[in-house]
Amino acid sequence: MPNYAIHPIYDVSKYIWNQIKSNDILMENDYIADGFDQPLIPIVPAQQIPEFNNLLPGQTYLIYDYEEMPGQENWWISNQLMTYTIVSPNYDTITKIMALLKDLFRRHDESAKDLNSYSDISGYYDFHYISIDSSVSPQHFASEGGFMMGEVKLYVSYARHLDSNGRYQ
């Protein structure tokens, strides 16, 4: 029976978090909330922003969203526009994460190859290429002591593993 609870943005987000930690931009230990044994992953869907802010106020985090692009004649290939919004009180942190994302995902099929070889992804997808669709520099503070936001949009082409009838495995 197919697993409909998985999504390619989960794999991309795991890879991004690994790269952010590996490049010492954010420290995993800064994301252990009171009463938790394990660190939280600061890459969340928009619906979880209030919870994240309550548990770890003042910390940098990323919000993700995605848009499914129209299908093409190669129906087994899917294309999505994945949006990552970096939220932080620190301008430099936002620009570092934006530069990292650009470096990771500007190489089209080579970027997909790196993601496919990352060991902590679900194994349900083969990523064909990833590119930077657009990025928006950090916006000004909304209020004194508030957060700034920068945005990076990734264009992602992938195929999910299928059964002999062309349905999801």
Please report, for the domain that includes residue 73, its CATH number.
Answer: 3.30.2000
Q: How many domains does the chain have?
A: 1
Element (H, E) at 101: helix 91-105
Q: What is the pLDDT of residue 109?
A: 97
Q: What is the pLDDT of residue 99?
A: 98
Interacting residues of 10 by C-beta distance below 8 A, sequence separation 6+: 122
DSSP, res 59: -
In a domain, 3, yes or no: no
In a domain, 1, yes or no: no
In a domain, 137, yes or no: yes
Tell me the mean pLDDT per 10 residues along the chain, length 169.
Answer: 93 98 98 94 91 91 95 90 96 97 98 96 95 92 74 97 90
In a domain, 168, yes or no: no
Q: What is the pLDDT of residue 20?
A: 98
Contact between residue 64 and residue 45 where contact means Cβ atoms under 8 Å apart: yes
Q: What is the pLDDT of residue 44?
A: 95
In a domain, 136, yes or no: yes
Q: CA-CA distance, 89 to 141, in Å (whole number)?
A: 8
Q: CA-CA distance, 169 to 75, in Å (whole number)?
A: 16
In a domain, 40, yes or no: yes
63 lies in which domain range? 8-160
In a domain, 92, yes or no: yes
Which ranges of 23-142 does DSSP label H, i.e. alpha helix?
49-55, 91-105, 109-117
In a domain, 145, yes or no: yes
Only one residue has tokens 């949009």, namely 153
Q: What is the pLDDT of residue 52?
A: 86
Contact between residue 126 and residue 156 where contact means Cβ atoms under 8 Å apart: no
